[in-house]
Amino acid sequence: MEDQPMIEFKNVSKIYGDNAAVDKINLTINPGDFVCFIGTSGSGKTTLMRMINRMLKPSKGDVFFKGQNIAQFNPVKLRRKIGYVIQNIGLMPHMTIYENITLVPKLLKWSEEKKRAKAKELIHLVELPEDFLDRYPSELSGGQQQRIGVIRALAADQDVILMDEPFGALDPITREGIQDLVKSLQEKMGKTIILVTHDMDEALKLATKIIVMDKGRMVQEGTPTDLLRHPATPFVEKMIGEERLIHAKADVTPVKSIMLKNPVSITPDKSLTEVIGLMREKRVDSLLVTENDKTLIGLVDLSALSHRYQKDLLVRDIMTKVSFYVKEDDLLRDTAERILKRGLKYAPVVDKNKHLTGIVTRSSLVDMLYDIIWGSQEAEEEE
Ligand SMILES: Nc1ncnc2c1ncn2[C@@H]1O[C@H](COP(=O)(O)OP(=O)(O)OP(=O)(O)O)[C@@H](O)[C@H]1O
Ligand SMILES: [Mg+2]
């Protein structure tokens, strides 16, 4: 049961007159996916979404919910299993926050006790005081109302939540806060969310899977990283935006891919004579110190050596602890600036177990940044 898809579209089309609003879509949505449908106006996003809960009926093909053809469901029952957040998450103005949150649970005939417990649990999740439950929507700020709208969608313990441009009308700051909230609740509660948006930033931030729609067709399906790395068509490229593609390289490239492997290192039990020998041989002015199993512990450099040199001292006596290192799976986006700002010549790179696996040098970072800028200039010249 676990790996059964939550939603499946099999060859689904929706045709109005001569026009296919949605054209031969095949798509699998798994439990826990956060799927964003993105595309220009009129590309079929809303139509595609509404066929999931039978607000619209496919002209051709079938939609399945947990393996069962939705054509066989009673539409009302189906809609109670699948949450739907209307545009801009409208709250009912004449109902209290409590009544708003428990709207669907009430339809599902939950006990008063269960509804109350759920409402309290959710209001804590979004960090609002419990006595807000007795207020009316007009007594809350816009951002607070929005948070209530989000938890209302989560209240009924539905497995799937459909959201059609839910944050469209919000100012950018409120919008970011709400996006973070939805994403963290979705992960925490393991919901499957399908969200329609025009906004590529939103899709890249929230989605585990992005579906790019153009004229009723699905032109690309992939993770945010897939889209940034390999936009399938010029249309997708345009949706992502030139500037973002330039930055995308740093956004998706891990440190591992540009680090120099086999950095020069030494163990703490070695003599300073050996340090000098190794530095001279490798033409470096500092050595990373690791345990025998390669765990990174410190650094000896030329200045420590010249200040503290005594014949019978060992590496461990003069080494300094490493205070700065990066992990090989860290993204360059996050790392480059930290390294450049600190004015370091290089940073040690470690794996999950803090074993030394490489170094990133300032000059390799400069090369990479140069590559990005140079690469984009070349692309412009070609056009
Ligand atoms: N009931 C209808 N009758 C005829 N054509 C329709 C109907 N509903 C939608 N369409 C057409 O189907 C196409 C897709 O519409 P849809 O609402 O799915 O687009 P959308 O991607 O959600 O656009 P938007 O971003 O503007 O909300 C459009 O060309 C629209 O005009
Ligand atoms: Mg729409």
- Closest CA to ligand 1's atom 4: 16
Give the ligand whose atoms come closest to the C-alpha of residue 59. Answer: 1
Tell me the mean pLDDT in the region 249-254: 68
Among the residue ranges 74-83, 110-119, 292-301, the one predicted with the least confidence is: 74-83
How far is residue 279's CA from residue 309's CA, in Å, rounded to a whole number?
15
Domain boundaries defined on the chain: 7-240, 256-368
Q: Please report which ligand is nearest the Cα atom of 163.
A: 2
d(CA 44, ligand 1 centre) in Å: 6
> Which residue(s) pair with 350 in the sheet?
327, 356
- Cα(124)–Cα(367) distance, rounded to whole angstroms? 48
Closest Cα to atom 11 of ligand 1 = 21
169 CA to centre of ligand 1 in angstroms: 20
Residue bearing the bigger pLDDT, 243 or 2? 243
For a mutational test of ligand 1's pocket, the pick from 12, 15, 16, i.e. the residue with the most ligand atoms closer than 8 A to its C-beta, is: 16
Residues with CB under 6 A from ligand 1: 16, 21, 39, 41-47, 198
> What spacing in Å lies between the alpha carbon of 45 and ligand 2's midpoint?
6
pLDDT band per the 50, 70, 90 thresholds, residue 251: low
Secondary structure class of 65 (helix, strand, coil):
strand
**pLDDT for 177-223, tens place per residue?**
788 888 888 888 889 999 999 888 899 999 999 999 999 999 999 99
Cα–ligand 1 centroid distance for 20 (angstroms): 10
Task: Please state the atom number of ligand 1 nearest to the C-alpha of residue 50.
Answer: 18
Q: What is the pLDDT of residue 87?
A: 57
Helix residue spans in the chain (DSSP H): 45-50, 75-81, 97-101, 103-107, 112-125, 142-155, 172-189, 200-206, 224-229, 234-240, 242-252, 272-282, 302-308, 315-318, 332-342, 362-382
Which residue has tokens 């109670």? 80
Q: How far is CA 115 from the centre of its chain?
A: 32
CATH 3.10.580.10 fits domain 256-368: yes
What's the number of CA atoms in the CB half-sphere (13 Å) around residue 238? 8
Rounded CA-CA distance 29/142 in Å is: 32
Architecture of the CATH domain 7-240: 3-Layer(aba) Sandwich (3.40)
Q: What is the DSSP string of 248-273?
A: HHHHH-BGGGTPEES--EE-TTSBHH
Q: Output the pLDDT for position 58.
A: 96
pLDDT (tens digit per residue) in 274-313: 999 999 998 888 899 999 999 999 999 988 888 888 888 9
Say if CB 152 and CB 91 are below 8 A apart: yes
Task: Please choose, from the candidates 206, 248, 204, the residue with its C-alpha nearest in 3D space to the C-alpha of residue 228.
Answer: 248
Beta bridge partners of 162: 84, 194
Confidence check: pLDDT of 382 > 50:
no
Neighbours of ion ligand 2 (CB under 5 A): 46
Q: Are 90 and 103 in contact (CB under 8 A)?
A: no
Q: Give 304's DSSP letter.
A: H
Q: Which atom of ligand 1 is nearest to the CA of 49?
A: 18
Nearest atom in ligand 1 to the alpha carbon of residue 46 is: 22
* pLDDT, the chain, mean: 86
Which atom of ligand 1 lies closest to the CA of 14? 12
Q: What is the pLDDT of residue 383?
A: 39
**368 pLDDT higher than 80:** no
β-pair partners for 361: 346
| Residue 105: pLDDT over 80 | yes
Nearest Cα to Cα of residue 347 among 304, 292, 296, 275: 296
What is the residue with the minimal CA distance to atom 25 of ligand 1? 41
What is the rounded CA–CA span in Å between residue 146 and residue 44? 26
**Residue 377 reports pLDDT greater than 50:** no
Least distant ligand from the CA of 39:
1
Express each pLDDT in 326-345 by its tens digit: 999 888 777 777 777 777 78
